[in-house]
Chain A
Amino acid sequence: MNTPKKWEKNWFEPLALSEKNSEVLAPQKGYWKDAWIRFKSNKGALIGLILIVLLLLIAFIGPLFNEHNYHSQNLTITNQESSGDHYLGTDSLGRDLWQRVWYGAKVSLLIAFIAAFLDVVIGVTFGGISGYFGGRVDAIMQRILEIMYSIPNLVIIILLMMYLEPGVLPIAVALSFTGWVPMARIVRAQILKLKTQEYVLAARTMGASHYRILFKHLIPNVMGPIIIAVTFSIPSAIFFEAFLSFIGLGLRPPSASLGILVSDGYRTLQLFPFQLFWPALVLCIIMLSFNLIGDGMRDALDPKMKK
């Protein structure tokens, strides 16, 4: 055998115990930190996130740039093209479009967030209880879900909108009236899978209550799929709101949402296309960004689903 090139005298002396670092742990990396690293490496998702942040910033700061507001009419300056005073022009009642687009964006996002929040609260509770307790409870709750699923949601929403006063909260409630069903299914499927895991059994052998097992052990482990579902349900809520407004079941004037602006712009499309273009552009950016973020979230939080 060849002697090592860098020959040293003490090469063959035994190694002191402290010099053997036998168990080096993997670098400390939390679940969320790890997910963030994966999310960052997805360019589309990052662009989506930046777009949404920019959009929110402008929606809040933008209206401060000129003196107008979203509801004051001025019939002497109807249907103007963009100018130094009215950045995006005015609509058929002389309202400033810049103000209205950002106001509408805020309202649309607000409705979507409330609807998504309600989806999570109802869906997680329902799905969690159904999956965790199983047996007869699950059988009954599943039938309820199937009934909810079998009624076209558009019909329910339209019927509800006829009863409820049009407003931000009622629209959100109507949207989540059927919107929680997919969330409940996702959560139930996950809980069913997780509840036989040994760490749940371990908690049970120590006498943990159902509440503790469900909310301290199971739900935190379903957070990934829940967040993914939420990021996809937000654009669908925005889209649904726009649709409702478009067919005249949305907010009442002078309030505005992106859907109402699109609907208003559509009426004057041939003469003044810019009135449709701006709200539609903002709507598209929001939808696209949330879908990009959702894709990124799925890859980041649930790496097994990739490929």
Chain B
Amino acid sequence: MKPILEVSDLHVSFRSQDTEVKAIRGVDFTVGEGEVVAFVGESGSGKSVTFQTVMRLIPQPPAKIDKGKVLYGGRDLTKLSEIEMQKIRGKEIAMIFQDPMTSLNPTIRIGNQISESLIKHQKLSAKEAKERAIELLKIVGIPSPSERVEQFPHQFSGGMRQRAMIAMALACSPKLLIADEPTTALDVTIQAQIIDLLKNLQTKTGSSIVFITHDLGVVAEIADRVAVMYAGKIVESGTLDEIFYNPQHPYTWGLLQSMPKLDQNRDQELASIPGSCPSLVNPPAGCPFTGRCPHAMKICQEEMPEVTKSSSSHQVACWLQHPNAPEVKSPIEPERRWVD
């Protein structure tokens, strides 16, 4: 698969008066053409900051890109000027956000918000742009689009707003769509509708999608590949099946086990991960998960484990992979464990 986005050794930090938060601490990944990559992690794991950096949407200062490359179409996005970036945003890479309420401008009609980028990037006339906007609203499943196009965001419900956001993002047929927790603020029935919509659009247009979420259940529905982030690093990445049925990192084990299944035995206690995420003001020298890891060893405190490949697509950063490490059996059986 041809990579469309390549990020290597990205470091981002946030500075305030007397503290420095190292939000991203060396992130490497690629997104291939036409694939859906999910980034999973808890709040503060750096998953959103990573893609705000890719889009160059993080405010600098307080944020600072300390190191690293973001290659898109042969160009390093971290080095582009703001004007050049504006040509890429919306046209090449588009983004949809968690809260459709605040990401739409409440004073501008939906139609005008969609046509804005069409007029700017594709040099359409106002009339053509409006027709295209109606067409887009139809594609994302908004009923009676020719009336809706004249309405303001507050006249839309939450799910409809998210659909309108998707229409806006699709306006210039971007090659890469970054969806930052697009369903988190929505109810489950609406969430399912939006996921179906994104999947259908993806098969139709063949664009790549980066799906940022904290919900492994959503990941299972949509992703081809998964990257698990923790404390500003990718601790494990692999194909959907590799992460769900043959995970290698103790954090991934914990995440998968701490979610109750619909057919979970109720007499059994949920497996939980003790403690909470470490502070990134003074990140630990070793593996950030050491303090919460049931299999932590002395070395974990001292040095960050290197990335090991267990297959061409499966990468783990954990000392348990080292030949000298004791054998630890994964609590997740490498088979279809939830199927009766």
Contact = CB atoms under 8 A, between A and B. Distances in A.
Is chain A's interface secondary structure helix, strand, loop, or mixed overall? loop
A11 B298 contact: yes
A7 B279 CA distance: 28
A14 B326 contact: yes
Given A1-B308, A20-B291, A26-B279, A12 B322 contact: yes
Interface stretch (B113-121, B220-228, B299-307): B299-307
Contacts of B306: 1-2
A12 B326 contact: yes
A12 to B, nearest CB: 5
B321 interface: yes
B183 interface: no
Contacts of B322: 1, 12
A21 B325 CA distance: 22
Among B279, B291, B326, the one with the most A-chain Cβ atoms within 10 Å of its Cβ is B291
B290 interface: yes
Given A20-B291, A22-B274, A22-B292, A10 B298 contact: yes
A4 interface: yes
A166 B326 CA distance: 89
Given A12-B324, A13-B297, A4 B276 contact: no
Nearest to B321: A1
B326 A24 contact: no
B248 to A, nearest CB: 14
A15 interface: yes
Contacts of B303: 4
Contacts, number: 58
A1 B319 CA distance: 10
Contacts of B323: 1
B291 A11 contact: no
A23 interface: yes
Contact of A4 (B290, B291, B292, B299): B299
Contact of A23 (B276, B290, B299, B321): B276
Nearest to B290: A20
A66 interface: no
Contacts of A21: 291
Nearest to A26: B279
A38 B291 CA distance: 32
A24 to B, nearest CB: 7
Interface of B: 17-18, 274-276, 278-279, 290-293, 295-303, 306, 308, 319, 321-326
23 contacts: A1-B306, A1-B308, A1-B321, A2-B306, A3-B324, A4-B302, A11-B298, A11-B299, A11-B302, A12-B319, A12-B322, A14-B297, A20-B292, A20-B296, A21-B291, A22-B274, A22-B291, A22-B292, A23-B275, A23-B291, A24-B279, A26-B279, A38-B17
Given A2-B306, A13-B297, A15-B301, 20 more contacts: A1-B321, A4-B299, A4-B302, A6-B302, A11-B298, A12-B298, A12-B322, A12-B324, A12-B326, A13-B298, A14-B295, A14-B296, A14-B326, A19-B301, A20-B291, A22-B275, A23-B275, A24-B279, A37-B18, A41-B17
The 10 residue pairs across chains A and B that have the minimum distance between CB atoms:
A22-B275, A22-B291, A11-B299, A15-B296, A20-B291, A23-B275, A12-B324, A12-B297, A12-B325, A4-B303
